[in-house]
Amino acid sequence: MINQGFAIRKNVVGMLVVAGWLIGSQSASAQESGKEIFQQRCTACHTIGKGKLVGPDLSGVTSRREESWLQRKIKAPERMIAEKDPITMQLLRESNNVQMAPLGLSDKEVANVIAFFKTIDAKGGAGTAEVGLHPYFLPTLLLSITVLIVLTIIALKAGHKKTTV
């Protein structure tokens, strides 16, 4: 009966480790993809924490704008002008009527760019556009906790063995 309980706990912990690893790696890969897209397609006009270029500085953009607005703006900036979106019109005036170029990104790529922005904004948005490594630590943390639990269970079981002298 003790062995069955141990096996169940071992399976549950194993599933948690795998789930944590998958979640952490997907989140990290989305942020990395977003970072690459930003560096390849956006840095000619935008900075993060270094001031305005052609377009606005994007530091803190996820706290200033709703995610749905960011999705629309990144996906189809020309449509936002056609709709006369008030925020877009203000940004257009501030950039001397220089329009944001359509980037031709897929919905997933747009989501990855926004995930990258969220990571930067969570770090305070200052300095360079680097993705933090914290999503990579989740699998390691879960694995470490699992190893500690397993070793503790083994030690407790070994402590209850009867020895004859």
Q: Is residue 164 part of a domain?
A: no
CATH of the domain at 124: 1.10.760.10
Q: At what angle do helices 107-122 and 2-41 cross, to 10 degrees?
A: 100
Are 146 and 14 in contact by the 8 Å Cβ rule? The answer is: yes
Residue 116: pLDDT band with limits 50, 70, 90 = very high
Residue 107's pLDDT band, with cuts at 50, 70 and 90, is very high
Q: How much is the pLDDT for 14?
A: 55
Global pTM reads 0.59
Domain that holds residue 27: 16-144
Query: For 124, which DSSP code?
Result: T
What are residue 127's phi and psi, to 5 degrees?
Answer: 80, -150
Within a domain: residue 7?
Answer: no
Residue 109 counted as domain residue: yes
3-class DSSP string for 18-69? HHHHHHHHHHHHHHHHHHHHHHHHCCCCCCCCCCCCCCCCCCCHHHHCCHHH
Question: For 70-92, how does the pLDDT look when each residue is reduced to its tens digit (9 = 90+)?
Answer: 999 999 999 999 999 999 999 99
Count the domains in the chain: 1
Q: Could you tell me the sign of the dihedral formed by the alpha carbons of 7, 9, 12, 14, in that order?
A: negative
Give residue-wise pLDDT tens across range 30-74.
888 899 999 999 988 999 988 888 889 999 999 999 999 999 999
Q: What is the pLDDT of residue 13?
A: 53
